Amino acid sequence: MKSPVTDYLEDLLTSTRDENSGELAAYIPELAKADPNKFAIALTTVDGRSYAVGDVDHEFSLQSISKPFAYALALADRGLSHVISKVGVEPSGEAFNELSVEEGTQRPDNPMINVGAIAIHSMLVSDSAGQQERIDHLLDFLSRLAGRQLHIDQSVFESEKETAQRNLAMAHMLKSFGLFEAEAHEVVEGYIAQCAIKVNVQDLSIMGATFANGGVQPITGEQTVDSIVARQVLSVMVSAGMYDGSGTWFAQVGIPAKSGVSGGVLGVLPSQLGIGVFSPRLDEKGNSVRSIEVFKQLSAQMGLHMMNAEAYSYEAVRLVRQVGSETVIELQGRLEFTNAEETLHRLENMKLECADLVVDLTRVSEANRVGRAMLLDGLNAIQDEGIQVSLLDPDNVLKMRGECEDDGIQVLSASSE
């Protein structure tokens, strides 16, 4: 059986391929040589499954898509508070290549515009690191995100060095602010190397899925960065990932994203997906025309907009039945704040006076920290009122076996039912 996901993506590829407007990036000679017809889409889930259609093996340089990844590494290397003291998280309201910094603090507005990204690159490893050290460290990190060894596109690297005046201007300005001790041209060369790292759409989707998965690479299982770092990166992608059009993008598409001038676009849906799309023709803002269209369709047709609120009929409490002197409450779905709250609400309103309480977690697929804590707090309170509480938790979603029996809550074995 062929996956309907793949079918869907192929349909999307076909219908979007008609979009032939846009131009190749003109200002970097090597990018201007790209094959304008290359087109590919990939999704990777937080479980590590990928779907890829089109020119899936075609490699392209990351360009600005490298910015969120380098930001993550700087956050990991130097700590959240240090990095935020140097580079802000507010949208700049200006084009990607403006030299603008905050008045007073002289912080670049955010790490997604060039001046902020150069500042971030200069922070990699440590203040005393050398140019090659920063590049090697970042290339190693990106390779671990992708799950394979990535490489720098030497022709693109050389080509961009020729047109780096504006980036040099920014680096000299940052150095004049005392942001780094290194030579400005070394930082810029390192930044250009960062932009020239090659990936294919599947790499991109896996790298995105790693951030969707709280920093855990979904295939290798490696915790590449702390979950708080992944969260910070995704937050800034929401605010500033699409430059001065970030508000419009989030209203229309609702997926944290970052585009690059080579034609790639990265999307990340927390807890769900990484998305990579590639097509080299760009609109006048420097975003891939077809990639943007693919994201709009994906969001609309697959319900991926983060601000969607579909009115589910879902209920945390599947049923309540009376079995002799026991009241059995059967829960279902995920146990997080929302349905822990619902469960406790139901328990509050039940007349439990003389009855024992059995909480059946058989149909609960998982529980997070907050959901677990809330339910246990509530059950303890009931226990304190003199009611005997028992848990039926065959999959051990509350992770109670052994550890929590001191609370007096009895954990039943599945077979005891």
37 carries a ligand binding annotation: no
Contact stretch for a copy of itself (CB under 8 A) within 40-48, 57-65, 67-75, 146-154: 40-48
**Position 354 contacts a copy of itself (CB under 8 A):** no
246 and 240 Cβ atoms separated by less than 8 Å: yes
Draw the binding track, 311-350, toward a copy of itself (x: CB under 8 A; -: no contact): xxxxx--x-------------xxx-xxx--xx-xx-xx--
Distance CA 173, CA 188 (A): 12
191 carries a ligand binding annotation: yes
**What is the closest distance, in whole angstroms, from the C-beta atom of residue 113 to a copy of itself in the complex?**
12
**Position 285 contacts a copy of itself (CB under 8 A):** no
* Residue carrying structure tokens 């080509």: 159
Q: Which of 33, 363, 403, 413: binder of a copy of itself (CB under 8 A)?
A: 363
3-class SS letters over 303-323: CCCCCCCCCCCCCCEEEEEEE
Q: Which helix (H) or strand (E) holds 191?
A: helix 184-195
**Position 2 contacts a copy of itself (CB under 8 A):** yes
**What is the closest distance, in whole angstroms, from the C-beta atom of residue 377 to a copy of itself in the complex?**
4
- The footprint of a copy of itself on residues 149-178 (CB under 8 A) is 163, 165-173, 175-176
**Which one of 67, 239, 258, 397 is the catalytic residue?**
67
- Specify the residue, 1 or 322, whose C-beta has the smaller distance to a copy of itself: 1
- The footprint of a copy of itself on residues 262-281 (CB under 8 A) is 270-273
**Position 353 contacts a copy of itself (CB under 8 A):** no
Rounded to 5 degrees, φ, ψ at 346 are -65, -40
128: which 2 tokens? 């005393």
**Which one of 53, 233, 253, 261 is the catalytic residue?**
261
Distance CA 393, CA 413 (A): 7
Distance CA 240, CA 93 (A): 9
Contact stretch for a copy of itself (CB under 8 A) within 53-61, 197-205, 375-383, 401-409: 375-383
Three-class SS of residue 43? strand
**Position 355 contacts a copy of itself (CB under 8 A):** no
Other beta carbons within 10 angstroms of residue 271's beta carbon come to 8
- Specify the residue, 54 or 88, whose C-beta has the smaller distance to a copy of itself: 88
Is 261 labeled as catalytic in the residue annotation?
yes
Residue 297 CB partners (closer than 8 Å, separation 6+)? 12, 15, 16
Q: Which amino acid is at 399?
A: K
Q: Which of 21, 81, 104, 307: binder of a copy of itself (CB under 8 A)?
A: 307
261 carries a ligand binding annotation: yes
Q: Which value, in Å, is the radius of gyration of the alpha carbons in the chain? A: 25
Q: Which residues pair with 326 in a beta bridge?
A: 323, 356
Rounded to 5 degrees, φ, ψ at 3 are -70, 135
**Position 60 contacts a copy of itself (CB under 8 A):** no
**Position 385 contacts a copy of itself (CB under 8 A):** yes
Is 64 labeled as catalytic in the residue annotation?
yes
Task: HSE, CB side, 13 Å, CA atoms: give it for residue 266.
Answer: 34
- The footprint of a copy of itself on residues 191-250 (CB under 8 A) is 211-214, 216, 227, 230-232, 234-236, 238-240, 244-248, 250
**Position 132 contacts a copy of itself (CB under 8 A):** no
Instruction: Quote the distance between the C-alpha of residue 47 and its chain's center.
Output: 14
**Position 23 contacts a copy of itself (CB under 8 A):** no
# chain residues binding a copy of itself, by CB under 8 A: 100
**Position 386 contacts a copy of itself (CB under 8 A):** no
Q: Where are the beta strands (DSSP E) in 103-171?
A: 151-152
Instruction: Quote the distance between the C-alpha of residue 412 and its chain's center.
Output: 39
64 carries a ligand binding annotation: yes
Distance CA 232, CA 273 (A): 17
What positions carry a catalytic annotation? 64, 67, 191, 243, 261
Binding site for substrate: residue ranges? 64, 114, 160, 167, 191, 243, 261
